[in-house]
């Protein structure tokens, strides 16, 4: 699982999101994981597909195109020429994402670009454990390490930081931190999430979209937004596992395509099962 790195969020009653992510014809990763949930939560979403593949790269093969910098810029210029760059939110992924599971997906020199150019302009940062380690230079093996990583990332710019998945013992730990005023101690919390014995794709992209959506509805309560996002995501994943089992597949043998369309109610009105514990 490789979550996106950042989202820029400005509070708004009626949100308009520009989502710059990858796209697959089949399956749910990138914009295919993010656009639909945001629309369910009441946002207008304009997607820019930085990558268009037949399917995600976890399959034996894939075909498609990658937009270069000029092609991406042409799309932005087209919007600007027609006075269409009036978005309240920018949801973007550094494509490809930095990495996960101890593996870097990008050239090492790009990490410095992310750290020095991207992080300072983000209002919310949502790295996984591996990405947080690379952005901070800190090895994260305990809750204390996770909190220190949040402090380092706050100092770089973002007021909201959510480290989405820290592996501790048999659980995943989400650690969130909201620095409401510069120089003041941030409000910090954790959510303990039981591991589901399966491998999914697109979960990080979905999680970031849910965090964007719910944090816009609860701009001063990041812990509440995270509770709703985590509970919604876990309901989607459990539905996915159950569906594969009913179809006779072993969920532990291959990566699972999340059952997004079938989980509309879990996205729109999640039952909050996973509670935030404030530090």
DSSP state letters, 225-258: HHHHHHHHHHHHHHHHHHHHHHTT--TTSSEEEP
* Structural domain range at position 66: 6-278
How confident is the model over 56-113, as pLDDT tens digits? 988 999 999 999 989 999 999 999 999 999 999 999 875 445 445 555 555 667 778 8
Let me know: does 225 contact 255? Beta carbons within 8 Å: no
Is residue 21 included in any domain, yes or no? yes
Structure confidence at residue 208 (pLDDT): 94
Structure confidence at residue 4 (pLDDT): 42
Is residue 109 included in any domain, yes or no? yes
Structure confidence at residue 107 (pLDDT): 65
Please give the Cα distance from 61 to 50 (Å, whole number).
Answer: 19
Between 101-110, 123-132, 194-203, the lowest mean confidence (pLDDT) is in 101-110
Is residue 183 included in any domain, yes or no? yes
Q: For the residues of 140-196, what is the DSSP string, one character each?
A: --SHHHHHHHHHHHHHHS-SEEEEEEEEETTEEEEEEEE-SSTTSPPEEEEEEEEPP
Residue 61: count of CB within 10 angstroms of its CB: 7
Is residue 67 included in any domain, yes or no? yes
Average pLDDT of the segment spanning 23-44: 96
Is residue 237 included in any domain, yes or no? yes
Give the CATH number of the domain where residue 120 resides: 3.40.1190.20
Structure confidence at residue 118 (pLDDT): 86
> Hey, which residues are catalytic here?
205
Is residue 89 included in any domain, yes or no? yes
Answer whether residue 197 shows pLDDT above 80: yes
Domain count across the chain: 1
Is residue 163 included in any domain, yes or no? yes
Cis preceding linkage at 189, omega within 30: no
Report percent pLDDT > 70 for the chain.
89
> Of how many residues is the chain composed?
279
How confident is the model over 134-183, as pLDDT tens digits? 889 999 999 999 999 999 999 999 999 999 999 988 889 999 999 999 88
Please give the Cα distance from 46 to 15 (Å, whole number).
Answer: 11
Average pLDDT of the segment spanning 233-250: 94
Between 110-119, 192-201, 216-225, 243-252, the lowest mean confidence (pLDDT) is in 110-119
The DSSP code for 12 is: -
- Dihedral in degrees, nearest 10, Cα atoms 168, 166, 279, 184: 150
């Amino acid at each position: 699982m490789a979550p996106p790195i950042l989202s820029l969020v400005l509070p708004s009653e009626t949100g308009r999101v520009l989502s710059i992510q990858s796209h697959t014809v089949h399956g749910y990763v990138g914009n295919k994981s993010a656009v639909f949930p945001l629309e369910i939560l009441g946002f207008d979403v304009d997607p820019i597909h930085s990558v268009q593949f037949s399917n995600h790269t976890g399959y034996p093969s894939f075909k498609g195109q990658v937009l270069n910098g000029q092609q991406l810029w042409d799309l932005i210029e087209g919007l600007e020429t027609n006075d269409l760059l009036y978005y309240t939110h920018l949801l973007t992924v550094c494509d490809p994402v930095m990495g996960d599971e101890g593996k870097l997906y990008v050239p090492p020199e790009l990490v410095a670009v992310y750290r020095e150019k991207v992080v300072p302009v983000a209002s919310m940062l949502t790295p996984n454990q591996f990405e947080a380690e690379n952005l901070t230079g800190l090895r994260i093996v305990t809750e204390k390490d996770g909190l220190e990583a949040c402090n380092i990332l706050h100092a770089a710019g973002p007021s909201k930081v959510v480290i989405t998945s820290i592996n501790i013992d048999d659980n995943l730990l989400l650690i969130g931190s909201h620095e409401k005023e510069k120089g003041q101690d941030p409000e910090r919390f954790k959510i303990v999430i039981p591991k589901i014995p399966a491998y999914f794709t697109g979960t990080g992209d979905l999680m970031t979209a849910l965090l964007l959506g719910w944090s816009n509805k609860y701009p001063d309560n990041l812990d509440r937004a995270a509770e709703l996002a985590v509970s919604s995501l876990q309901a989607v994943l459990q539905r996915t596992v159950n569906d594969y089992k009913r179809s006779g597949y072993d969920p532990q043998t291959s990566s699972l395509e999340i059952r997004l369309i079938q989980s509309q109610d879990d996205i729109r009105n999640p039952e909050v099962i996973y509670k935030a514990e404030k530090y």
